[in-house]
């Protein structure tokens, strides 16, 4: 089953329910984020990637997570303000979720179950990325060290399909 047909929902920063199906036909980059992490500056490169391709059907979905050394302890409103003020983030940010453990959000359960098993069944750290094709299939999973600017070719290839 493709991700768009799963019925998975999550909350946006305003508390409104969002169905992943609304992104059908778009290329997605799903990222678990944190405001107080060594990788936090990736927000700037993520925003640049989003700005470069959003008019072609590319969307980045950010999901704050406080599971890694408690590096995102703020409220959803504080996190959103931080991202907008410090990094100019305009791509959709969502309510804080768990990406591991017994309370793992269904979105991340799906992503892990449908990505390369070589990376294991746990999210390793903040800013792991999942590239989703227009067909709703997980194309690639990237570890935190993969910088967003290094994803341009993969995004362009996914958009061209």
> pLDDT, tens digit, for every residue of 98-108?
999 999 999 99
Q: What pLDDT does residue 120 have?
A: 85
**Rounded percentage of the chain residues whose pLDDT exceeds 70:** 99
Given the DSSP bridges, would you call strands 138-142 and 129-132 parallel, antiparallel or unpaired? antiparallel
Which residues partner with 31 through β-bridges?
Answer: 62, 129
Average pLDDT, the chain: 96
* Domains of the chain, first to last: 3-160 (3.40.30.10)
The alpha carbon torsion through 52, 55, 56, 58 (nearest 10 deg) reads: 70
pLDDT score of 117 more than 80: no
Instruction: Say if residue 10's pLDDT is above 80.
Output: yes
Cα separation, 47 vs 49, in Å, equals 5
Q: Which residue numbers are catalytic? A: 37
């Amino acid at each position: 089953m493709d991700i768009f047909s799963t019925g998975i929902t999550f909350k946006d920063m305003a508390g409104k329910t969002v169905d992943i199906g609304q992104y059908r036909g778009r290329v997605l980059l799903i990222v678990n984020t944190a405001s107080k992490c060594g990788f936090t500056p990736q927000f700037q490169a993520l925003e640049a990637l989003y700005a470069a391709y959003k008019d072609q059907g590319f969307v980045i979905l950010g999901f704050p997570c406080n599971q890694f050394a408690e590096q995102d302890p703020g409220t959803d409103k504080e996190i959103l303000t931080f991202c907008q003020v410090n990094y100019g983030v305009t791509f959709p940010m969502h309510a804080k979720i768990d990406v591991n453990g017994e309370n793992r959000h269904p979105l991340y359960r799906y992503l892990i179950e449908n990505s390369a098993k070589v990376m294991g069944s746990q999210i390793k750290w903040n800013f792991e990325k999942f590239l989703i094709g227009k067909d709703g299939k997980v194309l690639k999973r990237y570890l935190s060290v993969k910088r967003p600017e290094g994803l341009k070719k993969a995004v362009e290839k996914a958009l061209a399909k």
